[in-house]
Amino acid sequence: MSEPTHDENRHEQLTRAEKSTEADAAPRIEVTEKEDGVTRIDVSDDAAVRPGERDDSDAS
């Protein structure tokens, strides 16, 4: 039996909790590597948490 892949381990960790769903394990970023060595990282439009300015109305 072979070792689980990174993606399999990630899926297992994100769906192990009692109330988790398959949506919890959905990819949230896309990484593209171009031939010239440039790496582009895009955050999915439907990601629950996105980089950017903090919304202070949510602060406790």
pLDDT by residue (tens digit) across 4-19? Answer: 999 999 999 999 999 9
What is the C-alpha to C-alpha distance for residues 30 and 16, in angstroms, rounded to an integer? 23
Q: Is the dihedral of CA 14, 20, 26, 29 positive or negative?
A: negative
Is there a contact between 34 and 40 (Cβ–Cβ < 8 Å)? yes
What is the C-alpha to C-alpha distance for residues 12 and 50, in angstroms, rounded to an integer? 23
What is the C-alpha to C-alpha distance for residues 34 and 15, in angstroms, rounded to an integer? 32
pTM reported for the whole predicted model: 0.52
Which among 5, 9, 4, 43 has a CA at the least distance from the CA of 27? 43
| Average pLDDT across the chain, whole number | 85
